[in-house]
């Protein structure tokens, strides 16, 4: 069980004058590395089936696993928090809204060993059976660094993820700036995702969208349960010291559609040049993108589906 855990709660506030909650996760990380764990590591804060949650003005550090995990929740506000963990600490995601709706994450600093913010909705046959999406998620004015992703959707997306807005984000010293990830066997629909006003520095890959990450909790997944990704808008994104601009890899039997890129400049380590985009099974449009985007992303004049997003 998580250090702070609640189920079926209403109108809960966790706040403080930047006091610290220290999960002392080192012993858990070491047991995980040694393969000695018999149980799942606890989150630092987890609310289930709850609504009206406010978390503010608290420092969270050294979580054994994910830091803040609202699952099956609604009307959640997380603001003015600091989340810290060593870069080599396993699975120490910052904030993971999971099958939750009406969530606002804002004005926070996160530096951990995994994704800063990752929107989830269950995985494989379990998430499909429950069928609860994450929806209406707002992430704004968040700064941080991670060896993995700054802003992520997935890879647990079996319940679906829709209506996500991330804006005014600063990401540095990280693996991936923006990462939308799902998998064959996940099922689920990812749609209406907008990421805007992002600055990133010293990042391996600026933007990555992939349909087959290859990870599963067990081998009972249905290989015919394909994920669908459509209506993703990425705009006003600037990066320096970005090793690779982007990769968008859809699925042959479930191509990504309506992928809209606008006003994106991702500069390499030594100047404006960066390796070209890598794409497959994707359609949409791009305008004012440097380095030049994939050939599959036509001009906005040829793809009316993106006209309203530029």
Three-class HEC string of 247-281: EEECECCECEEEEEEEEEEECECCECCCCCCEEEC
With contact defined as beta carbons under 8 Å apart, do 275 and 304 qualify?
no
| The pLDDT of residue 271 | 58
CA 310 – CA 296 distance, rounded (Å): 18
- Cα–Cα distance measured from residue 201 to residue 230, given in angstroms and rounded to the nearest whole number: 28
Whether 58 and 94 have beta carbons less than 8 Å apart is answered as no
DSSP code of 30? H
At residue 270, the pLDDT reads 58
Catalytically annotated residues: 114
Q: Where are the alpha helices (DSSP H) in the chain?
A: 26-34, 124-130
Residue that is written with structure tokens 């600063």 in the block: 170
pLDDT given for residue 193 in this prediction: 99
Alpha carbons 29 and 96: distance in angstroms, whole number: 19
Phi, psi for 47 (deg, rounded to 5): -120, 135
Low-confidence ranges of the chain (pLDDT < 50): none
Q: Are 64 and 41 spatial neighbours (Cβ–Cβ below 8 Å)?
A: yes
Query: Distance (Å, rounded) from C-alpha 151 to C-alpha 205?
Result: 12
CA distance 107 to 250: 33
CA distance 115 to 111: 9
pLDDT at 299: 60
Written as six digits, the tokens of 300 are: 């906005």
The gap between the terminal CA atoms of the chain, to the nearest Å, is 45
Measured CA to CA, the distance from residue 227 to residue 239 in angstroms comes to 29
Please give the CATH superfamily to which domain 4-309 belongs.
Single-stranded right-handed beta-helix, Pectin lyase-like (2.160.20.10)
Paired tokens of 267: 């500069």
How far is the CA of 252 from the CAs of 59, 153, 225, 257, in angstroms? 44, 21, 13, 12
Looking at residue 196, its pLDDT comes to 99
Kindly report whether the global pTM for this prediction surpasses the value 0.85: yes
Q: In this predicted structure, what is the pLDDT of residue 83?
A: 99
Q: 8: which 2 tokens? A: 């079926």
Cis amide linkage into residue 155, ω under 30° from 0: yes
Domain boundaries, the chain: 4-309
């Amino acid at each position: 069980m998580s250090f702070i855990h609640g189920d079926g709660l209403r109108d809960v506030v966790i706040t403080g004058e930047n006091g610290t909650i220290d999960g002392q996760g080192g012993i858990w990380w070491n047991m995980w590395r040694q393969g000695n764990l018999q149980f799942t590591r606890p989150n630092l804060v987890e609310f289930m089936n709850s609504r009206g949650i406010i978390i503010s003005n608290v420092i969270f550090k050294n979580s054994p696993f994910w830091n803040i995990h609202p699952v099956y929740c609604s009307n959640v506000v997380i603001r003015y928090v600091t989340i810290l963990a060593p870069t080599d600490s396993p699975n120490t995601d910052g904030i993971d809204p999971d099958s939750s709706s009406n969530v606002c994450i804002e004005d926070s600093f996160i530096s951990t060993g995994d994704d800063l913010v990752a929107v989830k909705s269950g995985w494989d046959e379990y998430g499909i059976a429950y069928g609860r999406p994450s929806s209406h998620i707002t992430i704004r004015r968040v700064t941080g660094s991670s060896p993995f992703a700054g802003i992520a959707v997935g890879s647990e997306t079996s319940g679906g993820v829709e209506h996500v807005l991330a804006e005014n984000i600063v990401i540095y010293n990280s693996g991936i700036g923006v990462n939308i990830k799902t998998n064959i066997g996940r099922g689920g629909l990812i749609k209406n995702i907008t990421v805007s006003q992002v600055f990133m520095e010293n990042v391996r890959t600026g933007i990555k969208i992939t349909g087959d990450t290859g990870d599963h909790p067990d081998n009972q997944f249905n290989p015919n349960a394909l994920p669908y990704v459509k209506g993703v808008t990425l705009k006003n994104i600037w990066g320096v010291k970005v090793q690779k601009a982007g990769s968008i890899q859809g699925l042959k039997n479930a191509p990504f559609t309506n992928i809209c890129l606008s006003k994106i400049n991702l500069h390499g380590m030594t100047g404006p040049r960066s390796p070209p985009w890598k794409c497959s099974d994707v359609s949409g449009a791009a305008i004012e993108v440097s380095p030049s985007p994939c050939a599959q992303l036509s001009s906005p004049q040829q793809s009316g589906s993106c006209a309203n997003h530029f």
